[in-house]
Amino acid sequence: MKPGMEIGRAETIDIIVTEEMFAAFEGEVIHPVYSTVAMTYHMEWVSRKIILPFLETHEEGMGASVQLHHLAPSPLGSKVTLTAVVVELRNNAVVTEVTAHNHAGIIGKGKVTQIILPKETIAQKLRDASFSS
pLDDT bracket for residue 119 (50, 70, 90):
very high
Asked if the structure places residue 37 within a domain, the reply is yes
- Say if CB 40 and CB 108 are below 8 A apart: no
Is residue 133 over pLDDT 80? no
The secondary element (H helix, E strand) that includes residue 123 is helix 119-129
Is residue 122 over pLDDT 70? yes
Looking at residue 113, which CATH number applies to its domain? 3.10.129.10
pLDDT tens across 19-66, in order?
A: 999 999 998 999 999 999 999 999 999 999 999 999 999 999 999 999
Count the domains in the chain. Answer: 1
Residues 24, 19: Cα–Cα separation, whole Å: 10
Mean pLDDT of the chain: 96
Asked if the structure places residue 133 within a domain, the reply is no
Asked if the structure places residue 64 within a domain, the reply is yes
State the residue range of the domain holding 53: 10-128
